[in-house]
C-alpha cells in the first residue's frame, strides 16, 4: 500500500489514506513521486464549481508533479485529475501516459520545478507563443506576486525585454518582483479604477508593448490604457475578476490586441518544449519562485492554507 491524498467531498480538503499502488496500463510510465504542488487549478476543480464540472469523488487531486522513472530519470508529469475522471499527482506512485511525461536535467531542483510547473509554462508560452515578445520590448506583468507573475517577470527579461514593470497588491509581491529584475513595481490599490491605476502605471512605464495579465478586471482595463498603438495584452487568468471594465475607445483608438491564452491549447510537444525551457532556467539558477515545501502528511492543512491564500508562495508537498 502507498499513501495518497484522497478528496472524498468537494469543498473539503483531501486527507491521507493508504491505497494500492497503480498498475501501469499500455503506454503508461510508472513514476515514483517526490513532490506535487497545490495549484489554483487543483483547488478550483475540487470546489466542484470549475467549468469542468464537479469531479467524481473520491479522487486523488494534483494536475502535475515531479518524480523519477524506474531507471532513475527525473521527470515532470501532468495529469487531468479534477478535470476528467482519474487520480492525480498527490500520492507516492503514479502511472502516467508517456506523452504527459517530460524528462528533466539530472540535477534538476525538483521541488522548485514542481512549484514553477504549469504556471511558469503558461508565463513562457503567453510571452513567446501568444504575446510574441521580441528583443527590446517593454513588458508589464500584472499579479506579479503570484507564480505566473514571478515567472513572467524573469522569463520576459530572459526573452529580451528591455524593461519589465510589475503590478502587485502587496509590498512583498512588489519587493519580490524588483528582486527578480523588474525595473519598478506599482501598487494595485483596493479602490483603484482603470484611470487611476493607468495614470500611476504610465508614470513609471511610459508606453508599453506587451501586458501579461493573469488578473483581468480593473488591472487589465488599466493596463490596456498604457499600451502603445498596436500593443498586445495576453489574458491567462481572472484572479481579480471574471469581467473587465474595458472601453471601446481605448481598444479601437490604439488598434490594440487582446489575446487569450490557455495551457489547454498547447500540444503535448509545445508543453514539453516550454517545460524544458523552464526546467533548464531553473536548473541553471536563472528562474525561481516563492514556494513553501511541506511534508506530504500535512496535506489537509496545507490545502486549506493554499485555498485561503495563507501560504508563503506555492505549497509543494514532498514525499
Ligand X SMILES: NC(=O)c1ccc[n+]([C@@H]2O[C@H](COP(=O)([O-])OP(=O)(O)OC[C@H]3O[C@@H](n4cnc5c(N)ncnc54)[C@H](OP(=O)(O)O)[C@@H]3O)[C@@H](O)[C@H]2O)c1
The minimum distance between CB 36 and ligand X, in angstroms, equals: 15
Residue from 45, 118, 127, 307 binding ligand X (CB under 6 A): 118
Cis peptide before 51, with omega less than 30 degrees from 0?
Answer: no
Say whether residue 148 binds ligand X (CB under 6 A): yes
User: What values do phi and psi take at 299, rounded to 5?
Assistant: -60, -40
The minimum distance between CB 153 and ligand X, in angstroms, equals: 10
Say whether residue 170 binds ligand X (CB under 6 A): yes
Site pattern 51..90 for ligand X (x: CB under 6 A): ----------------------------------------
The minimum distance between CB 228 and ligand X, in angstroms, equals: 24
Say whether residue 239 binds ligand X (CB under 6 A): yes
Residue from 94, 101, 147, 211 binding ligand X (CB under 6 A): 147
Q: What is the SS3 assignment for 253-288?
A: HCCCEEEECCHHHCCHHHHHHHHHHHHHHHHCCCCC
Residue list 200-219, contact with ligand X (CB under 6 A): 214-215
> Is residue 289 within 8 Å of residue 116, measured between CB atoms?
yes
Applying CB under 6 A, the span of 50-58, 132-140, 196-204, 257-265 interacting with ligand X comes to: 257-265
C-alpha–C-alpha distance, residues 261 and 310, integer Å: 27
Site pattern 26..45 for ligand X (x: CB under 6 A): --------------xx----
Residue 219 CB coordination number (10 Å): 29
Residue from 59, 76, 77, 261 binding ligand X (CB under 6 A): 261
Site pattern 219..238 for ligand X (x: CB under 6 A): -----------------xxx
DSSP secondary structure code for residue 126 in this structure: I
C-alpha–C-alpha distance, residues 111 and 254, integer Å: 43
C-alpha–C-alpha distance, residues 68 and 62, integer Å: 17
Residues 6+ apart with CB under 8 A from 44: 50
Applying CB under 6 A, the span of 24-32, 81-89, 165-173, 193-201 interacting with ligand X comes to: 165-173
The minimum distance between CB 159 and ligand X, in angstroms, equals: 18
Say whether residue 144 binds ligand X (CB under 6 A): yes
The 8 Å CB, 24+ separation contacts for 197-202 are 197/167, 197/222, 198/222, 198/223, 198/225, 198/226, 201/140, 201/165, 201/167, 201/226, 202/226
Applying CB under 6 A, the span of 27-35, 45-53, 83-91, 141-149 interacting with ligand X comes to: 141-149
Q: Which residues, in sequence order, are bridge partners of residue 184?
A: 165
Q: Is 30 exposed, middle or buried (0-12, 13-18, 19+ CB in 10 A)?
A: middle
Residue from 64, 79, 89, 119 binding ligand X (CB under 6 A): 119
- Using CB under 6 A as the criterion, which residues of the chain lie in contact with ligand X when the complex forms? 40-41, 118-119, 122, 143-149, 168-170, 173, 188, 214-215, 236-240, 261-263, 314
Amino acid at each position: 500500500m502507498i499513501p495518497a491524498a484522497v478528496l472524498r467531498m468537494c469543498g473539503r480538503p483531501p486527507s491521507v489514506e493508504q491505497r494500492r499502488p497503480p498498475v501501469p496500463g499500455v503506454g503508461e510510465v510508472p513514476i515514483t513521486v517526490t513532490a506535487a504542488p497545490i495549484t489554483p487549478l487543483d483547488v478550483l476543480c475540487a470546489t466542484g464549481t470549475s467549468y469542468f464540472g464537479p469531479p467524481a469523488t473520491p479522487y486523488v487531486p494534483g494536475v502535475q508533479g515531479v518524480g523519477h522513472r524506474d531507471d532513475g530519470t527525473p521527470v515532470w508529469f501532468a495529469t487531468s485529475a479534477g478535470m476528467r475522471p482519474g487520480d492525480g499527482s498527490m500520492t507516492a506512485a503514479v502511472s502516467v501516459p508517456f506523452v504527459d511525461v517530460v524528462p528533466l536535467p539530472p540535477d534538476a531542483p525538483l521541488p522548485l520545478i514542481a512549484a514553477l510547473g504549469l504556471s511558469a509554462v503558461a508565463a513562457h508560452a503567453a510571452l513567446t507563443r501568444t504575446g510574441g515578445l521580441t528583443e527590446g520590448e517593454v513588458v508589464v506583468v500584472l499579479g506579479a506576486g503570484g507564480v505566473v507573475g514571478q515567472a513572467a517577470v524573469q522569463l520576459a527579461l530572459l526573452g529580451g525585454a528591455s524593461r519589465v514593470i510589475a503590478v502587485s497588491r502587496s509590498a512583498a509581491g512588489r519587493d519580490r518582483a524588483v528582486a527578480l529584475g523588474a525595473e519598478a513595481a506599482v501598487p494595485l490599490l483596493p479602490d483603484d479604477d482603470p484611470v487611476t491605476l493607468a495614470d500611476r502605471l504610465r508614470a513609471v512605464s511610459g508606453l508599453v508593448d506587451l501586458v501579461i495579465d493573469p488578473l483581468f478586471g480593473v488591472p487589465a482595463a488599466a493596463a490596456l490604457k498604457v499600451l502603445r498603438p498596436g500593443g498586445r495584452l495576453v489574458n491567462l487568468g481572472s484572479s481579480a475578476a471574471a469581467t473587465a471594465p474595458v472601453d471601446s475607445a481605448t481598444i479601437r483608438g490604439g488598434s490594440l490586441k487582446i489575446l487569450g491564452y490557455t495551457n489547454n491549447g498547447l500540444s503535448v510537444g509545445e508543453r514539453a518544449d516550454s517545460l524544458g525551457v523552464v526546467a533548464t532556467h531553473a536548473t541553471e539558477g536563472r528562474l525561481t519562485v516563492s514556494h513553501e515545501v511541506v511534508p506530504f502528511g500535512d496535506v489537509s492543512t496545507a490545502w486549506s492554507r493554499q485555498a485561503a491564500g495563507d501560504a508563503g508562495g506555492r505549497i509543494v508537498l514532498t514525499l
